[in-house]
Structure 1
Amino acid sequence: MLPNASTKKDNFKFKFNIFKIVLEVSIFIYVFAIFLIKNTKNDILANITTRTTLISVLFALAIIVISLEYKYFLSYKKVFKKIITMDLLIAVASHISFIYSLVNFIIKLANKDYQHLEMEFAEVSIVLFLFFNIGKYIESKLQSKSNVGIKDLLKLKNKNSFILVDGKKQEIPTFKIKVGDLVLVPKGQSIPVDGELDSDFASLDYSSITGESLPIDFKKGDKILSGSINISDVIIIRADKKSSDSFLTQTINRLETIFEEPSKIEKVSVKIVKYLTPSILVLSILTFIVWTIVSYSIGGFEKVYPSYRGPRNSGNIAGAIYPAITVLVISCPCAFGIAAPIAIYSSSILASKNKILFANSKIYEQIIKSKFIVFDKTGTLTYGKPQVKAYQGDENYLDIAKQLAQSSNHPISKAIVDFVKTPSKIISTQEIPGKGLVYKKGDELYELISFEYVKKDYKNIEQFDFSEIGNYTVLAKNQEIVLVFLIIDKIKKDSKSIISLLKKEGFECVISSGDNEKNVGFVAQQVGITRYYGNLNPFDKEKIVSELQQEGQVIFVGDGINDILATKKASLSMSFENGSNLNNSISDVSLLKTDLSLVYKTIEIVKRTNKLVKMNFIWAIFFNSLFIPLAIAGMIFPVLAMALMFFSSTFLIINTLFFKKRNEKFLDKKIV
């Protein structure tokens, strides 16, 4: 789950954890002082310390009691539910050392053996808890540094907002804002819901949405997304979405989905912990048995192995417990437990800050397995904004063409309106779906239609040149062609460079488009793609994806809605979103800027994340392979083992933070 906003409960828990650490440090200092005094040759001091052993018992018991709420104490209950966690090893090691010491203390007290009244393992249980709690505290602080992005998003969520009711300002919970409500946003406050600007003007900090530092100016009627910050005076917006459907909430929901659904590599991590933990428990028991047998056979662990680090002259059972506990501590699979989750968590947050939103965790497996990247042409490799490149015919009819075009919202009609600069009057036209526009003026019939629908009986066709690649729109008067417009959709400047980079990464790039084969072929040639398909309807695109999947995994990059069938069929899908329709998106990856380099950046950051996870796993394997044999041989003691285990986990977290820093630079730089 994502970190929630600070609450009184969270603050109390934080302060209580600090209190526990301070108490444990104080007790550790006391126990360590007793340990030093006990080894002095001064009989008076040594006699005093034997009478303080009861205090040591109580201190050790206090450490365990105040740690009851820690999840590792509950690991015993989970065993009965067939759930084994990595905290079980620390729990067993700490509690066995304490119980043995307590029993030993009681026996000697009952036998009035005051001269040897000591807790042979008191410092073990105390220091294990101390190191573990300090480790958890530092781990959480280090992890919080990788939470900065999501914390920033959570800060943008307003608990309460102001609305206008009958002209009066009223404060209500943000989640109660309804579509159509007039929302007042004071200067410096974030926009709570998506809506239209009802004020005449607004200047907003859009950095949380676009990443751009400069403010953006809006005029009345403009769409505004939640999460942006008002830097002008008080403004009013008319909500067109509820808080739950707005951009900010949808962004946070996407991240929550990632963290709640473990990826395949995280499942591998969990499986390793699941089988490693009982294996280590068995290994610890075998270590205890072997050391006990060897010691009884030869006598004295120091005789068996000079480097043995356990208590000397303490009896065979005590000496055997020492290496057994050390095996438990040094083998605690914390490194395996955090190797994958912390890397994926960090990269997902980093991606979201750079306008890349992951919808699920399968991204981390499918991208590295994929062979093909299928691109929709319009709006992906091209700008998706048709424009008139040239025209042929009688310029006196340009005004008529604009009059017809401005009555339609079709992109080609808008291109003609933008091309003809002279003002024109509004006329009433008839729009024929799939064909074009018709306008009748007396005996004159004007048609603004696609060249594909020009029949053979249209006059003057031979007078016009249709050889240049592009889409042609014709203005006909009584079935006589008087104007021909060449409409093109410009290729994005970075399309060729990005395709080249993707090919170097080993992907085969493909275009599937509803545009005619000639236009698609031209775009493919310009960007360096050899495999392309044109004249496709949504079912054809789905079929193409299905056929390619016979050869390998397929990533589909499109607009997410018009290509819905291909998007759902693909192994992995990416789409460019405008931020206002995230709740309707069906893509695995939402790219919040129409920047093709985000496709490459997405693939690169996932590959780097997988590389980091592998590096973390290698470190965990190396660490356990090196120190488990040393623990079995009795060459290291439990407290040192705890310190080494803490260092191992901290190393992984710091390594992930360095990864985050490196990738921040990669994502910030211009790819091409």
Structure 2
Amino acid sequence: MDTAIKKEFILEGLCCGNCASKIQRDVSRLEGVSSAAVDFVSKTLTMEITDREKAESLTAQADSIIKRHDPDVVMNEKEQLQPGKKVIYLLGLCCADCAQKIEKQVNRIDGVKSAGIDFVSQKLTIEVLDKKNLPAVIRQASQIATGIEPAIQISYTGTNSTQASSLNLKKWLHRITLYAGAAIFVTGMLFDFGTYIEFALFLISYLFVGGEVVFRALKNITKGQLFDENFLMSVATIGAFSIGEYPEGVAVMLFYQIGEAIQRLAVNRSRKSISSLMDIRPDYANLIIGDEIRKVTPYEVGIGDLIVVKPGEKIPLDGRIVEGRSTLDTSALTGESLPRDVEPGNEVLSGSINKNGMLTIEVLKEFGESTISTILDLVQNASSKKAPTENFITKFARYYTPLVSLAALTLAVIPPLVVPGAAFSDWLHRALVFLVVSCPCALVISIPLSFFGGIGGASKNGILVKGSNYLEALNNVDTVVFDKTGTLTKGIFKVTQIVSTNGWSQQELLSHAAHAESFSNHPIAVSVQKAYNQVIDTLKLSEHEEIPGQGIRVKVDGRLVLAGSSKLMEAFGIAFKPAEVLGSIVYIAIDGSFAGYIIISDELKPDSKEAIHNLKNMGVKTTAMLTGDSKAAGEKIAGEIGLDMVYTDLLPHQKVEQLEALEKKKQTKGGKLVFVGDGINDAPVLARADIGIAMGALGSDAAIEAADVVLMTDEPSKLVSAIGIAKKTKSIVWQNIVFALGIKAVILVLGAMGIATMWEAVFGDVGVTVVAILNAMRAMRVVK
């Protein structure tokens, strides 16, 4: 059985939030599609297809569904390339003969498996034998293309100029007819031409202003789309004409069209503002090639290449400094304004800004795998994981419009039949007010924009949230559980005392411990090696075995050495007396006899105590710590910073068990349990928690993969900021819900009473939508 494949499509021209939710619903129902999601903010449709053979057919069906709901939307598939493949767009390529020459020469590049040009879409697809050579091949292919046809512009995201021209032409035609219709409407209002000429003027004006809307409504009716805004506005305005309210019919349609234009402008501005929050993608890299420095795109730089970063430039790819010293501004990544000094040997992350000195950097990751690409990908795809409130509003909108439309029909028909002296035209006018305000766009547009704005604001503050669902869940945190090392403490260990027994000297004990720990990167092991400060002779080592959660068993110069926790001593039957001291303790046994212990101390982070205090002020009921450290060390830290519970001497699997036990003890029904860890050693616990938060894990692939939220600095106080951002975002979301539904409810009541006119009704539709969108944009400024 074939595994499911994932396809992503950009929906150019998508500006109707209600249409987006309908597209998602209908595509999800296609046989062979296991799931579908439309991200209105990024205009992206994501489909999970269970049958590869039906992929092309299902794509065509999805396109038909999109056209049915919004004919102006153009569906373009995102490139889903295997490792070793890349698409380059040769914008401006207009010579078929040149295209053949480029294809032929690119195929001759050493290491190219195949290369082909699609002349219509201006697309060059390259496949290489070894993906490590891909950046160099891309570089050569770009030079070949611009050498053969200098007018070509290289793009790695692509665009379809034909479709773009078509969309622009439609926009201009729409504007011209709208301006002409408005001019005729003003003429009819200012001058008295008599009944018949006046009717003709307003009818022509109406056709210019609203003809497109009516045509779309008729087209959609044939496709079974009855309750959309085109149909509702058409019925409402034609109804106005039927009762002799010609100026009102035209004016309402004109106001509606202007409101729609303002709405599109607000949506696009909101999208651009959100994108600008993450405007940290580097545009180029200064690549060292031989004796020259060439400005290239980051895609053209491979692992091991050397790049130069001048003062004021962004570091384009993750790497290690080989020459130069400088100060880096990492605020775009971490939200912290404090600069960071770097020197040769330091690793640096893409997206940081070089403040002063010239740096030469050896590239460690390709652009697609770099920190900056990972962050951008996470933020841009975050709103595909929808919050419960978004899902609720989508379902609500599905029933709201038909119910209000049914109420409008009832209002038009029933009162004239049962109320003595009631005029049909009067009650029809009231019913038309209902139809105009029955579109739920204010909700289905502003709510995803609010969540995405909150996610964007959080990322600007050094907090990566992987989905709207996690951002909303942070509002209901009941229990917060912390790892100790690297989370509440600095994780910078230092040997503070060596206690030897049975005739062993302190230096001998340290030497055996350092050799035993030489293969480990654990902070405690590193601190022992630093204290030893001599070259480790690995030839002395044999039969090395790491015992999870306990320590190391190894032979050093033929002697059996055990180095680890008290549990390791007990497991091997070593007679010893547990040390009642603070700090992490490494017990040492040599040839089955206890030889002593080494005390390693860690330092508490300066904002840990404040973070716990603020969490409790925000309504967190329980704070706890899980650690593999000793009881004395764990309880000392817990008491110092004010934790409610502490669990010590835990093995990795015991942390998961303890977390599950705490889950059952939660005080608030529906409350969420958060685990905060370093994201590397705590992956099982991060995955088990309601919300897993990786601390100080910027640049760590393991942390980003395991966690739901990533705090890009080492500060526990960032968790407080994350919850604060979540609460502010939810507040904005509910402001929009209450505002939109409240205004619509008022207009519906006033309309039923004959007080509200269709002018107020149009404001209740497009006006409320614009106000809600502008309010949603405030979520982007939540950075504290």
| TM-score class, shorter | 0.7 to 0.9
Determine helix, strand or coil for the equivalent of 1:532. Answer: strand
Aligned residue among 468, 471, 479 for 2:581? 468
Partner Cα separation in structure 1 for residue 764 and residue 196 of structure 2: 31
Write out aligned runs for 1:171-250 (5 A). 173-185=297-309, 188-213=312-337, 215-232=339-356, 235-250=359-374
Partner Cα separation in structure 1 for residue 380 and residue 579 of structure 2: 53
Q: Which residue of 2 aligns with 1:350?
A: 457
The alpha carbon displacement at 1:264 in A equals 0.9
Q: Which residue of 1 aligns with 2:112?
A: none
Which ranges in structure 2 are unaligned for 5 or more consecutive residues? 1-38, 44-156, 667-671
The alpha carbon displacement at 1:574 in A equals 0.6
Q: Which residue of 2 aligns with 1:62?
A: 208
Is the CA contact (8 Å cut-off) linking 2:384 and 2:467 kept in structure 1? no
Q: Which residue of 1 aligns with 2:391?
A: 267
Partner Cα separation in structure 1 for residue 453 and residue 172 of structure 2: 26
Determine helix, strand or coil for the equivalent of 2:664. Answer: coil
Q: Which residue of 1 aligns with 2:182?
A: 28
Relative to structure 1, the CA distance from residue 350 to residue 560 in structure 2 (aligned partners, 3 Å threshold; closer, same or farther) is same
Write out aligned runs for 1:164-175 (5 A). 164-165=288-289, 173-175=297-299
Partner Cα separation in structure 1 for residue 346 and residue 221 of structure 2: 55
The alpha carbon displacement at 1:440 in A equals 5.7
1:503 aligns with 2:616: yes
Is the CA contact (8 Å cut-off) linking 1:382 and 1:491 kept in structure 2? yes
Query: 1:206-226 CA deviation, whole Å, 9 max, x = no partner?
Result: 221233445534323321211
Relative to structure 1, the CA distance from residue 284 to residue 458 in structure 2 (aligned partners, 3 Å threshold; closer, same or farther) is closer
Is the CA contact (8 Å cut-off) linking 1:404 and 1:448 kept in structure 2? no
Q: Which residue of 1 aligns with 2:96?
A: none
Query: 1:447-503 CA deviation, whole Å, 9 max, x = no partner?
Result: 7945746799999x89xx933222334689999999854312222232233223323
* Aligned AA (2:259): F
1:618 aligns with 2:764: no
Is the CA contact (8 Å cut-off) linking 2:447 and 2:733 kept in structure 1? yes
1:643 aligns with 2:763: yes
The 10-residue stretch of structure 1 (219-228 or 410-419) with the greater mean CA deviation from structure 2:
410-419
Q: Which residue of 1 aligns with 2:402?
A: 278
1:134 aligns with 2:134: no
Partner Cα separation in structure 1 for residue 200 and residue 217 of structure 2: 27
Is the CA contact (8 Å cut-off) linking 1:147 and 1:346 kept in structure 2? no
Aligned residue among 69, 87, 95 for 2:234? 95
Is the CA contact (8 Å cut-off) linking 2:315 and 2:351 kept in structure 1? yes
1:337 aligns with 2:465: no
Which ranges in structure 1 are unaligned for 5 or more consecutive residues? 39-45, 105-115, 302-315, 668-672
Determine helix, strand or coil for the equivalent of 1:525. Answer: helix
* Aligned AA (1:592): M
Is the CA contact (8 Å cut-off) linking 1:572 and 1:588 kept in structure 2? yes
* Higher fraction of strand: 2
The alpha carbon displacement at 1:535 in A equals 2.2
* Aligned AA (1:325): L
Q: Which residue of 2 aligns with 1:597?
A: 717
Relative to structure 1, the CA distance from residue 142 to residue 367 in structure 2 (aligned partners, 3 Å threshold; closer, same or farther) is closer
Is the CA contact (8 Å cut-off) linking 1:377 and 1:513 kept in structure 2? yes
Query: 1:255-311 CA deviation, whole Å, 9 max, x = no partner?
Result: 12321222111001111111101111111222222465479x627x4xxxxxxxxxx
Relative to structure 1, the CA distance from residue 95 to residue 410 in structure 2 (aligned partners, 3 Å threshold; closer, same or farther) is closer
Query: 1:296-348 CA deviation, whole Å, 9 max, x = no partner?
Result: x627x4xxxxxxxxxxxxxx55x554322221223332333235323211111
Determine helix, strand or coil for the equivalent of 1:383. Answer: coil
Query: 1:33-60 CA deviation, whole Å, 9 max, x = no partner?
Result: 422434xxxxxxx34x843654543332
* Aligned AA (1:349): G
Is the CA contact (8 Å cut-off) linking 1:97 and 1:125 kept in structure 2? no
1:148 aligns with 2:267: no
Query: 1:370-408 CA deviation, whole Å, 9 max, x = no partner?
Result: 4322211211122112223445679x9666667667763
The alpha carbon displacement at 1:591 in A equals 0.8
Partner Cα separation in structure 1 for residue 309 and residue 213 of structure 2: 46
Higher relative contact order, chain-length normalized (CA < 8 Å, sep 6+): 1
The 10-residue stretch of structure 1 (600-609 or 120-129) with the greater mean CA deviation from structure 2:
120-129
1:490 aligns with 2:603: yes
* Aligned AA (1:541): K
RMSD of aligned Cα (Å): 4.2
Is the CA contact (8 Å cut-off) linking 2:266 and 2:774 kept in structure 1? no
The alpha carbon displacement at 1:175 in A equals 3.3
Relative to structure 1, the CA distance from residue 194 to residue 451 in structure 2 (aligned partners, 3 Å threshold; closer, same or farther) is closer
Relative to structure 1, the CA distance from residue 118 to residue 277 in structure 2 (aligned partners, 3 Å threshold; closer, same or farther) is closer
The alpha carbon displacement at 1:588 in A equals 0.6
Q: Which residue of 1 aligns with 2:51?
A: none
Q: Which residue of 2 aligns with 1:549?
A: 663
The 10-residue stretch of structure 1 (94-103 or 327-336) with the greater mean CA deviation from structure 2:
94-103
Partner Cα separation in structure 1 for residue 337 and residue 573 of structure 2: 58
The 10-residue stretch of structure 1 (58-67 or 634-643) with the greater mean CA deviation from structure 2:
58-67
Q: Which residue of 2 aligns with 1:387?
A: 494
Partner Cα separation in structure 2 for residue 457 and residue 139 of structure 1: 70
Relative to structure 1, the CA distance from residue 231 to residue 518 in structure 2 (aligned partners, 3 Å threshold; closer, same or farther) is closer
Determine helix, strand or coil for the equivalent of 1:362. Answer: helix
The 10-residue stretch of structure 1 (648-657 or 378-387) with the greater mean CA deviation from structure 2:
648-657
Write out aligned runs for 1:428-439 (5 A). 430=541, 433=546, 434-435=551-552
* Aligned AA (2:524): I
1:37 aligns with 2:161: no
1:572 aligns with 2:691: yes
Query: 1:391-446 CA deviation, whole Å, 9 max, x = no partner?
Result: 5679x9666667667763553354356568xx7676565485424787669xxx89
Query: 1:191-247 CA deviation, whole Å, 9 max, x = no partner?
Result: 332222233445543221233445534323321211223445764433222222211
Q: Which residue of 2 aligns with 1:113?
A: none
The 10-residue stretch of structure 1 (474-483 or 552-561) with the greater mean CA deviation from structure 2:
474-483
Is the CA contact (8 Å cut-off) linking 2:455 and 2:471 kept in structure 1? no
Is the CA contact (8 Å cut-off) linking 2:630 and 2:648 kept in structure 1? yes
The alpha carbon displacement at 1:350 in A equals 0.7
Query: 1:627-662 CA deviation, whole Å, 9 max, x = no partner?
Result: 10111233222123213434423333343445554x
Aligned residue among 325, 341, 362 for 2:432? 325
Q: Which residue of 2 aligns with 1:516?
A: 630
Is the CA contact (8 Å cut-off) linking 1:405 and 1:414 kept in structure 2? no
Write out aligned runs for 1:554-565 (5 A). 554-565=673-684
Determine helix, strand or coil for the equivalent of 1:121. Answer: helix
Partner Cα separation in structure 1 for residue 590 and residue 386 of structure 2: 64
Relative to structure 1, the CA distance from residue 101 to residue 647 in structure 2 (aligned partners, 3 Å threshold; closer, same or farther) is closer
The alpha carbon displacement at 1:253 in A equals 1.4
Partner Cα separation in structure 2 for residue 471 and residue 577 of structure 1: 22
Task: Indicate the structure (1 or 2) with the bigger Cα radius of gyration.
Answer: 1
* Aligned AA (1:96): V
Aligned residue among 702, 706, 727 for 1:607? 727
Partner Cα separation in structure 2 for residue 98 and residue 410 of structure 1: 72
Is the CA contact (8 Å cut-off) linking 2:412 and 2:430 kept in structure 1? yes
Partner Cα separation in structure 1 for residue 509 and residue 214 of structure 2: 80
Is the CA contact (8 Å cut-off) linking 1:388 and 1:486 kept in structure 2? yes
1:533 aligns with 2:647: yes
Q: Which residue of 2 aligns with 1:109?
A: none
Aligned residues: 609
The alpha carbon displacement at 1:251 in A equals 0.7
Partner Cα separation in structure 1 for residue 355 and residue 719 of structure 2: 32
